């Protein structure tokens, strides 16, 4: 039986366009619109981070209340805003939420967020049937229901966007945020029982757990990808489902994207991309040569495979098959330095822009011929889908959602091992194709551009999931 008008409250650290650091924001910001097509109403609750302008989004004040943390109280002001048809609730608190999304002590910030969400519920005039928490930052919301009888609480869903960030917190600190460590199951504690893993506790508490691609849902049951939670995940296997992310195809559309130097579609992709390439080369002071342009846009963390780019290999490969490479992103200093050193040591081939820049990112999708996602692990990955939509052929490692979306020889290149030699043999294959078999290269580009990367296929899967809860 189709149940319509279920009400779902998304709890998350970030949501685009209000605040975006990573792919989490894209998903949380775009999924509610997709769910509307399934007769579902999803609203978002998140901190009113200092970086979120309440004025720009025309937020209205709804209520003010205090959050009782046991030995202290904190005042929160609740705002609401409607952005692109999506209803947002924003929690303002001077002490915890005045910085950027992941600035400061994120454990304190998000334990407080979880209690603030629970305390805000009576003021929302929206009684959710389902609380849907995203990642460890919001998993604490589920823990506020630990001892409530199932029939007296909303149903609880947790989506894992990244298993690496789990949130280990000392039991005494957990307590100081109004939680009861005694009722957290042992599977979510260390052996001595005095530290709590917030994500693990969320996994144990949720009625259903999802992750963002079918392949990652399988991988995390293994030691290799389970980030030490594989036993717990295996125990919850029957309630775990992998649903592939979509992208917001109206925002990411090369025909209308205002950030681009020049708009183009499938019919004029060759000439359109050339104009964008010229513009980008001039921005980066790269010579305008008839060589392919590779792009990498990512958070520079150990997840993303930056350490696979060997300077010597890049040097010798570029002698055999000339190419250019632009890296864009920020992150850990070690990887920022690595990217910068490639550019310094190979100035005729590599540029590195250590920045978080959405406009530049969009121009890289549009200008590049190949897009690199050599991740160590990748729950879903959105950039390879955006790249394909913009006619940039992805070169990815066979992991997580990359494996679900990129098929070697059909729409991109896929390599198996997390190893320098493995990446470079696929780069060589890609270059060979570009130079020796341009028709074949264009066929890959066309396949990516004509595929449907929207939420259309996945939205009904969320409907099934929510319906399975009642």
For the purposes of burial, counting CB atoms within 10 Å of the CB of 226, is it exposed (0-12), middle (13-18) or buried (19 or more)?
middle
Using the minimum distance from each CB to ligand GLC, give the nearer residue, 23 or 47.
23
What is the nearest approach in angstroms of ligand GLC to the Cβ of residue 212? 4
Helix (H, G, I), strand (E, B) or coil at 28: helix
What is the nearest approach in angstroms of ligand GLC to the Cβ of residue 161? 3
Q: Is the peptide bond before 17 cis (omega within 30 degrees of 0)?
A: yes
What is the nearest approach in angstroms of ligand GLC to the Cβ of residue 317? 27
Using the minimum distance from each CB to ligand GLC, give the nearer residue, 27 or 111.
27
Residue whose C-beta lies closest to ligand GLC: 23
Using the minimum distance from each CB to ligand GLC, give the nearer residue, 13 or 308.
13
Using the minimum distance from each CB to ligand GLC, give the nearer residue, 140 or 381.
381
- 61, 21, 178: which is closest to 113 by C-alpha? 178
Using the minimum distance from each CB to ligand GLC, give the nearer residue, 349 or 406.
406
Using the minimum distance from each CB to ligand GLC, give the nearer residue, 47 or 381.
381
Structure-token pair, residue 449: 């551009």
Using the minimum distance from each CB to ligand GLC, give the nearer residue, 218 or 446.
218
Structure-token pair, residue 194: 């005095």
Spatial strand order in the sheet of 324-328:
350-353, 324-328, 293-297, 370-373, 393-397, 413-415
Radius of gyration of the chain (CA): 23
Nearest-angstrom CA–CA distance, 342 and 275 = 26
E-assigned strands of 307-369? Answer: 324-328, 350-353
Q: Which residues bind ligand GLC (CB under 6 A)?
A: 22-24, 27, 161-162, 212, 245, 378-382
Using the minimum distance from each CB to ligand GLC, give the nearer residue, 14 or 257.
14
- 379, 427, 422, 438: which is closest to 403 by C-alpha? 379
Q: Which helix (H) or strand (E) element contains residue 392?
A: none
Conformation bin of residue 247: beta by default, left when phi > 0, alpha when psi is -120 to 50: beta
Using the minimum distance from each CB to ligand GLC, give the nearer residue, 119 or 386.
386
What is the nearest approach in angstroms of ligand GLC to the Cβ of residue 245? 5
Nearest-angstrom CA–CA distance, 389 and 273 = 12
Nearest-angstrom CA–CA distance, 242 and 82 = 29
Distance of CA 120 to the CA centre of its chain: 26
What is the nearest approach in angstroms of ligand GLC to the Cβ of residue 365? 15
What is the nearest approach in angstroms of ligand GLC to the Cβ of residue 302? 12
Nearest-angstrom CA–CA distance, 170 and 431 = 51
Nearest-angstrom CA–CA distance, 185 and 182 = 8
């Amino acid at each position: 039986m189709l149940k319509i008008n279920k009400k779902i409250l998304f709890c998350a650290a970030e949501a685009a366009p209000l605040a975006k650091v990573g792919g989490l924001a894209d998903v949380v910001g775009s999924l509610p619109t997709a769910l509307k097509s399934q007769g579902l109403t999803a609203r978002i609750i998140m901190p009113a981070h200092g970086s979120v302008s309440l004025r720009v989004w025309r937020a209205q004040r709804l209520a003010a209340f205090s959050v009782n943390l046991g030995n202290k109280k904190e005042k929160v002001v609740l705002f609401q805003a409607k952005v692109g048809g999506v209803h947002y609730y924003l929690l303002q608190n001077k002490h915890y939420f005045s910085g950027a999304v992941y600035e400061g002590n994120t454990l304190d910030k998000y334990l407080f967020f979880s209690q603030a969400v629970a305390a805000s519920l009576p003021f929302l005039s929206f009684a959710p049937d389902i609380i849907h928490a995203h990642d460890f930052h919001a998993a604490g919301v589920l823990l506020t229901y630990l001892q409530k009888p199932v029939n007296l609480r909303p149903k609880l869903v947790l989506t894992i966007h990244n298993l690496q960030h789990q949130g280990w917190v000392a039991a005494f600190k957990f307590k100081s945020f109004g939680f009861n460590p005694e009722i957290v199951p042992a599977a979510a504690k260390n052996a001595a029982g005095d530290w709590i893993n917030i994500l693990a506790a969320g996994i144990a508490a949720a009625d259903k757990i999802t992750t963002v691609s079918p392949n990652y849902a399988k991988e995390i049951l293994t030691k290799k990808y389970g980030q030490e939670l594989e036993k717990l995940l295996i125990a919850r296997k029957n309630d775990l489902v992998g649903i592939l992310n979509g992208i917001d195809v109206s925002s990411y559309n090369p025909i209308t994207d205002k950030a681009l130097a020049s708009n183009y579609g499938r019919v004029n992709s060759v000439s359109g991309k050339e104009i964008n390439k010229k513009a980008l080369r001039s921005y980066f002071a790269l010579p305008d040569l008839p060589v392919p342009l590779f792009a990498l846009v990512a958070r520079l963390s150990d997840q993303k495979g930056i350490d696979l780019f060997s300077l010597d290999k890049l040097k010798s490969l570029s002698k055999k098959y000339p190419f250019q490479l632009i890296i864009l992103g920020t992150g850990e200093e070690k990887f920022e330095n690595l990217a910068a050193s490639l550019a310094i040591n190979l100035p005729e081939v590599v540029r590195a822009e250590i920045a978080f820049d959405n406009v530049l990112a969009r121009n890289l999708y549009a200008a590049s011929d190949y897009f690199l996602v050599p991740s160590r692990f990748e729950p879903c990955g959105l950039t390879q889908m955006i790249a394909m939509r913009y006619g940039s052929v992805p070169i990815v490692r066979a992991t997580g959602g990359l494996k679900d979306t990129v098929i070697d020889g059909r729409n991109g290149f896929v390599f198996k091992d997390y190893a320098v030699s493995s990446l470079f043999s696929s780069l060589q294959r890609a270059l060979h194709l570009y130079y020796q078999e341009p028709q074949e290269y264009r066929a890959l580009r066309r396949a990516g551009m004509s595929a449907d990367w929207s939420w259309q296929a996945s939205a009904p899967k969320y409907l099934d999931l929510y319906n399975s809860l009642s």
